[in-house]
Chain A
């Protein structure tokens, strides 16, 4: 990305940058992490464990804030929190993955209109797949874990998370500060 391109993009979409209150930026990721660690412990809600809400929140805030640094820090924060609540999980695994997701999501948000639901669906699906693949690579490369990567399962869950993500983004849009 060139300096001219950055200036041009930032200048043209400056008005489209969404802003959120600090408490929203704090409690929504916490709620997403809490959802992931709390809800699946109930048997009848076990299927909700397939939802990667921290990732969806990371993607949303990165896309809407259109700040690469902000996106990567949001991803790092959520990833490290998720790592810290994971059993036998070294701190930094989800942190690195979500840092990259946040950075790239913010980069995409700077270039395309992310208000459209279909765009959101495709981006969420893509970033879910990227997140899972990157985690698999890091787990194999850094920790030497021989965990399989099930493409079909990942694609289906990616679609599921994309659909849920579009709905979730719709509600999170209500939390934006008015321009």
Chain B
């Protein structure tokens, strides 16, 4: 028996194992119940591994997901960066277009405003040569352009035509070494010659050292060169160095400040006035006073600015001279000087118009004050024409009203 079992041991074990499992299946099928214990063992053995695996998988997938997200973010960043670059270029282009449109608008406005006959031209090319400050414009002799005609922009002069071809012209810029033009300063009317230096600035030559030129003031064309009409802006003074015999003055051309794209060629130049310098310490703008109510005396504001104490003193001396028929600077030595002690109204207390007319101060001066004499004060008979004819304010007030100065004695206030 033992030998038999040994001989068929393997098959016996196989049959036993299979039989046991068959019984297991039969029990489960018959009772319709599960063998829970075996499943618990299996689940207990498997689930920790599954948990570890899930943890590793979650971490790994999270890492790869983050990596992919980062990769996508990098891709998005690159795409957005290229988009920003494209938009920047587009923005620059549009800004350029707007600038061009603004320049064209300013050009048209200037063309309509100026009295000179001009023709608009566009700069199409720059001249060859490192130091040559020459450009080509798209208007030539076919459009009436001739050699020597000035080229300007609303901001200032640009250059002059040095060659006119049928369809284009060659323009020498004011920065060219060979360029020269007559200029005059705005403040003190100092005359000089503008010369190009081959750089961004030009110099004004032949200005004597005793002439006063200030940094910041503007030079205009003087018209002396017979090329540029008088009154076109040239440039702003940036450097003034005293030198002998002529000052060294460098100006920055205003016509080239905003680039050179569109210009005006002056076909027929008309001289124009150089604009006056606006005072740096201009008074604050004051509106007109409200209209007086019915029955109230109307006061008139002084015509000019209040001025300094020296101005007031000068005005007072003028009034005294006018009151005493004295002309300053004409009296010979030893003659009687004017009486400076007479009382004249302070320049700030001038009254004209209805107030002076109502009070009649001129007819009844205060103590020691001379009565006004319209004929003497205004020998040319200008009393009926206006206030400005008489330097004396009270006399002028009387003249303005047209009433005799002796009438209507003023009430004392």
Chain B residues lying within 8 Å of A69, measured Cβ to Cβ, are 9-10, 13-14
Q: Considering only CB atoms, which chain B residue lies closest to A38 in the complex?
A: B50
Segment at the interface with A among B20-28, B155-163, B205-213: B20-28
Contact assessment for A91 and B46 in the assembled complex, using a CB-CB cutoff below 8 Å:
no
Contact assessment for B50 and A100 in the assembled complex, using a CB-CB cutoff below 8 Å:
no
Chain A interface category by residue count: 20 to 34
With both chains docked as a complex, state the minimum distance between the C-beta of A77 and any C-beta of chain B, in angstroms. 10
Give the docked Cα–Cα distance between A157 and B9 (Å).
Answer: 35
Chain A residues lying within 8 Å of B29, measured Cβ to Cβ, are 90, 142-143
Q: Does B109 contact A (CB under 8 A)?
A: no
Chain B residues lying within 8 Å of A3, measured Cβ to Cβ, are 7
Q: Does B313 contact A (CB under 8 A)?
A: no
Q: Considering only CB atoms, which chain A residue lies closest to B42 in the complex?
A: A84
Q: Considering only CB atoms, which chain A residue lies closest to B32 in the complex?
A: A90
Q: Considering only CB atoms, which chain A residue lies closest to B6 in the complex?
A: A3
Please tell me which one of the listed residues B34, B38, B41, B46 contacts residue A33 in the complex, with CB atoms under 8 A apart: B46
Chain B residues lying within 8 Å of A103, measured Cβ to Cβ, are 10, 14
Q: Does B303 contact A (CB under 8 A)?
A: no
Q: Does B346 contact A (CB under 8 A)?
A: no
Chain A residues lying within 8 Å of B17, measured Cβ to Cβ, are 72-73, 76, 99
Q: Does B18 contact A (CB under 8 A)?
A: yes
Give the docked Cα–Cα distance between A64 and B367 (Å).
Answer: 146
Report if A80-B38 is in contact (Cβ < 8 Å); known contacts: A33-B46, A73-B17, A85-B43: yes
Give the docked Cα–Cα distance between A96 and B18 (Å).
Answer: 6
Contact assessment for A91 and B24 in the assembled complex, using a CB-CB cutoff below 8 Å:
yes
Please tell me which one of the listed residues B14, B22, B49 contacts residue A30 in the complex, with CB atoms under 8 A apart: B49
With both chains docked as a complex, state the minimum distance between the C-beta of B196 and any C-beta of chain A, in angstroms. 76
Give the docked Cα–Cα distance between A68 and B41 (Å).
Answer: 25
Chain A residues lying within 8 Å of B35, measured Cβ to Cβ, are 91
Q: Considering only CB atoms, which chain B residue lies closest to A2 in the complex?
A: B7
Chain A residues lying within 8 Å of B282, measured Cβ to Cβ, are none
Chain B residues lying within 8 Å of A95, measured Cβ to Cβ, are 21, 24
Chain A residues lying within 8 Å of B42, measured Cβ to Cβ, are 80-81, 84-85
Contact assessment for A92 and B22 in the assembled complex, using a CB-CB cutoff below 8 Å:
yes
Please tell me which one of the listed residues A34, A68, A143 contacts residue B46 in the complex, with CB atoms under 8 A apart: A34
Number of B interface residues in the complex (CB < 8 A): 26
Q: Kindly supply a per-residue 1/0 record for chain A positions 56-95, scoring 1 wherever the CB is within 8 Å of any chain B CB and 0 otherwise.
A: 0000000000001100110010001100110000111101
Q: Does B68 contact A (CB under 8 A)?
A: no
Give the docked Cα–Cα distance between A3 and B41 (Å).
Answer: 39
Chain A residues lying within 8 Å of B22, measured Cβ to Cβ, are 92, 96, 142
Q: Does B260 contact A (CB under 8 A)?
A: no
Q: Kindly supply a per-residue 1/0 record for chain A positions 2-44, scoring 1 wherever the CB is within 8 Å of any chain B CB and 0 otherwise.
A: 0100000000000000000000000000110110011000000
Contact assessment for B53 and A91 in the assembled complex, using a CB-CB cutoff below 8 Å:
no
Please tell me which one of the listed residues A37, A99, A143 contacts residue B18 in the complex, with CB atoms under 8 A apart: A99
Q: Kindly supply a per-residue 1/0 record for chain B positions 42-76, scoring 1 wherever the CB is within 8 Å of any chain A CB and 0 otherwise.
A: 11011001100110000000000000000000000
Q: Kindly supply a per-residue 1/0 record for chain B positions 326-353, scoring 1 wherever the CB is within 8 Å of any chain A CB and 0 otherwise.
A: 0000000000000000000000000000
Contact assessment for A34 and B50 in the assembled complex, using a CB-CB cutoff below 8 Å:
yes
Chain A residues lying within 8 Å of B34, measured Cβ to Cβ, are 91
Contact assessment for B25 and A91 in the assembled complex, using a CB-CB cutoff below 8 Å:
yes
With both chains docked as a complex, state the minimum distance between the C-beta of A44 and any C-beta of chain B, in angstroms. 11
Contact assessment for B13 and A30 in the assembled complex, using a CB-CB cutoff below 8 Å:
no
Give the docked Cα–Cα distance between A92 and B22 (Å).
Answer: 7
Contact assessment for A81 and B10 in the assembled complex, using a CB-CB cutoff below 8 Å:
no
Contact assessment for A84 and B41 in the assembled complex, using a CB-CB cutoff below 8 Å:
yes
Q: Does B113 contact A (CB under 8 A)?
A: no
Contact assessment for B49 and A81 in the assembled complex, using a CB-CB cutoff below 8 Å:
no
Please tell me which one of the listed residues B21, B41, B43, B53 contacts residue A92 in the complex, with CB atoms under 8 A apart: B21
Q: Does B39 contact A (CB under 8 A)?
A: yes
Residue positions of A touching B, CB distance < 8 A: 3, 30-31, 33-34, 37-38, 68-69, 72-73, 76, 80-81, 84-85, 90-93, 95-96, 99-100, 103, 142-143
22 contacts between A and B (CB under 8 A): A31-B49, A34-B49, A34-B50, A37-B46, A37-B50, A38-B54, A68-B10, A72-B13, A72-B17, A80-B38, A85-B42, A90-B25, A91-B25, A91-B38, A91-B39, A92-B22, A92-B28, A96-B22, A99-B17, A142-B22, A142-B29, A143-B25
Beyond A31-B49, A92-B25, A96-B18, 18 extra complex contacts between A and B, CB < 8 Å = A30-B49, A38-B54, A72-B14, A76-B17, A76-B21, A80-B21, A84-B42, A85-B43, A91-B24, A91-B38, A92-B24, A93-B25, A95-B24, A96-B22, A99-B14, A99-B17, A99-B21, A142-B22
